[in-house]
């Protein structure tokens, strides 16, 4: 079970802490570790010759003393530990020639690191060296945060932005990043795998933030030996970001905050179509109104139908495509279908394959839907990012009603499967392999269907004039 602390994490100190080892490495200071370990971190330095320095310590300091009033070493060390000091530095001479044995024993007993400051090293020099190390650490941390922000922004512009942002975040923090849906299930993740215990703890922590009114925007805790943090995404749909790392650096909260903003923008629904229009059409259909009557609730148009396949595999990929194309009228799949209002336009999108219909009035949307489906199949067969339905030319010189009547008579012997196979085969210039790939069938199936079409139509399909007439008829058969 995660140990949680709901609410925003406490503010980071003005400068990052510095490991005691970094200070001991400054050979010019002549410092020597007598007890304890050098992996403790120092948040500051303080010099005191008080018999009881407890009231003057904030915690995390390196306390420097020459033992002027060191009457009771055991009590002195106990009070220093009680105050939360990180380490004790003892300067030999002028009061003591060596570090008192009682002081060493007390530090060992309490686990307090004890550092000997050699004669001739002013306490001010130790303090100045520590502040310099902290300044260097702060500059390094600022650079790390800046580079992380740039990396996240670059990831957000990639074809699959949500996984890319999670990967960049996990890489920069050296851990795991998980995006949770409103139901608490992980939608996408990146970075190092964590233990089942840590995964459960992170999911529980993510459930604390955001979903209920007044819930905290962020929470932190521990689980499975890792540091955990969770952040609610904007939009009010219950999405949350969870982060698990071995260590927590001062700038991690800032880096995660940038990721939260980007993910909120990437997963939020956007669109240029009024939601009331969409809901009005849907309501009419659900109440049994004919499709033509329901479509009358839309603006006169022209409207454009788009069929699409691709995306990054996340549940909100279709919503992201709809937002990019400027609509909220979207059917998420498995083939994504979108209805674009007059103000929107279909353009190629990274990671997607699109088939686009000709503009149509509301009553012509069923035919436009068929056009978009055929355009998508052609786009996949030709490996194009976007293919538009082609119309006009000589076909525009023929009366649509007469053309449709002729097409129905000509194609009457063909069932739907054979007619569709013939349509795709003609569109791909008689290529067996590409037609099979577009229809998802074996090339022998295509050959059998085309051969049967030739028999049923009593036409020579190798004749260019016959092919032209059939192509024209197939284009009119859905009108």
Which domains occur in the chain, in start order?
Answer: 31-120 (3.40.1390.20), 139-267 (3.30.450.30), 275-391 (no CATH), 395-476 (1.10.10.2840)
Per-residue pLDDT of the chain (479 residues; tens, 9 = 90+): 333 344 443 334 456 789 999 999 999 999 999 999 999 999 999 999 999 999 999 999 999 999 999 999 999 999 999 999 999 999 998 899 999 999 999 999 999 999 999 998 999 999 999 999 988 888 887 888 888 888 888 888 777 788 889 999 999 889 999 998 877 888 889 999 999 999 999 999 988 886 555 567 788 899 989 999 999 887 656 788 999 999 887 778 888 888 888 888 777 654 444 455 656 666 666 666 666 666 666 666 688 999 999 887 776 778 778 877 878 788 877 889 988 888 778 888 888 999 999 888 877 888 888 889 988 988 888 888 999 887 655 555 455 666 777 888 888 999 989 999 998 999 888 899 999 988 989 999 999 999 999 999 998 988 888 888 888 888 776 55
User: pTM for this one?
Assistant: 0.49
Assign 3-class secondary structure to the chain.
CCEEEECCCCCCCCCCCEEHHHHHCCHHHCEEEEECCCCCEECEEEECCCCCCHHHCCCCEEEEECCCCCCCHHHHHHHHHHHCCCEEEEECCCCCCCCCHHHHHHHHHHCCCEEEECCCCCHHHHHHHHHHHHHHHHHHHHHHHHHHHHHHHHHHCCCCHHHHHHHHHHHHHCCEEEEECCCCCEEEEEECCCCHHHHHHHHHHHHHCCCCCCCCCEEEEEECCEEEEEEECCCCCCCEEEEEECCCCCCHHHHHHHHHHHHHHHHCCCCCCCHHHHHHHHHHHHCCCCHHHHHCCCCCCCEEEEEEEECCCCCCHHHHHHHHHCCCCEECCCCEEEEECCCCCCCCCCCEEEEECCCECHHHHHHHHHHHHHHHHHHHHCCCCEEECCCCHHHHHCCHHHHHHHHHHHHCCCCHHHHHHHHHHHHCCCCHHHHHHHHCCCHHHHHHHHHHHHHHHCCCCCCHHHHHHHHHHHHHCCC
């Amino acid at each position: 079970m995660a140990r949680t602390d709901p609410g925003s994490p406490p503010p980071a100190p003005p400068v990052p802490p510095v490991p005691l080892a970094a200070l001991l490495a400054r050979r010019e200071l002549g410092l020597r570790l007598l007890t304890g370990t050098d992996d403790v971190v120092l948040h500051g330095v303080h010099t005191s010759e008080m018999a009881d320095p407890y009231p003057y310590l904030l915690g995390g300091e390196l306390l420097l003393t020459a033992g002027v009033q060191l009457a009771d070493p055991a009590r002195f060390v106990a009070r220093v530990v009680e105050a939360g000091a990180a380490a004790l530095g003892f300067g030999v001479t002028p009061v003591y020639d060596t570090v008192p044995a009682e002081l060493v024993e007390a530090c060992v007993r309490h686990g307090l690191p004890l550092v000997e400051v050699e004669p001739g090293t002013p306490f001010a020099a130790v303090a100045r060296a520590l502040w310099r190390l902290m300044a260097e650490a702060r500059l390094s941390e600022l650079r790390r945060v800046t580079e992380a922000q740039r990396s996240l922004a670059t990831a957000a512009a990639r074809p699959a932005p949500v996984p890319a942002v999670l990967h960049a975040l996990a890489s920069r923090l050296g851990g795991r990043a998980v995006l949770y849906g409103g139901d608490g299930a992980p939608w996408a993740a990146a970075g190092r795998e964590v233990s089942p215990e840590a995964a459960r703890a992170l999911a529980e922590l993510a459930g604390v933030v955001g979903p209920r009114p007044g819930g905290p925007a962020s929470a932190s805790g521990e689980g499975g030996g890792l540091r955990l943090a969770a952040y609610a995404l904007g939009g009010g749909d219950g999405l949350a970001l969870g982060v698990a790392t071995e260590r927590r650096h001062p700038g991690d909260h800032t880096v995660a905050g940038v990721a939260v903003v980007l993910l909120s923008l990437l997963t939020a629904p956007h669109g240029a179509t009024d939601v009331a229009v969409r809901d009005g059409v849907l309501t009419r259909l659900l109440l049994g109104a004919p499709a033509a009557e329901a479509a009358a609730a839309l603006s006169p148009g022209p409207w454009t139908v788009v069929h699409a396949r691709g995306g990054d595999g996340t549940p909100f990929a279709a919503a992201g495509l709809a937002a990019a194309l400027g609509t909220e009228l979207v059917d998420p799949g498995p083939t994504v279908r979108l209805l674009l209002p007059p103000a929107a336009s279909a353009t190629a999108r990274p990671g997607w394959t699109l088939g686009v219909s000709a503009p149509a009035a509301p009553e012509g949307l069923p035919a436009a839907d068929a056009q978009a489906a055929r355009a998508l199949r052609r786009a996949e067969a030709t490996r194009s990012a976007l293919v538009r339905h082609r119309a006009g030319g000589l076909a525009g010189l023929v009366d649509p009603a007469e053309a449709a009547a002729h097409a129905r008579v000509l194609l009457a012997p063909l069932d739907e499967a054979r007619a569709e196979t013939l349509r795709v085969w003609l569109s791909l210039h008689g290529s067996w392999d590409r037609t099979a790939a577009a229809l998802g069938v074996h090339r022998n199936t295509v050959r059998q269907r085309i051969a049967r079409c030739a028999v049923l139509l009593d036409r020579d399909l190798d004749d260019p004039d016959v092919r032209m007439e059939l192509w024209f008829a197939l284009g009119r058969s859905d009108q």
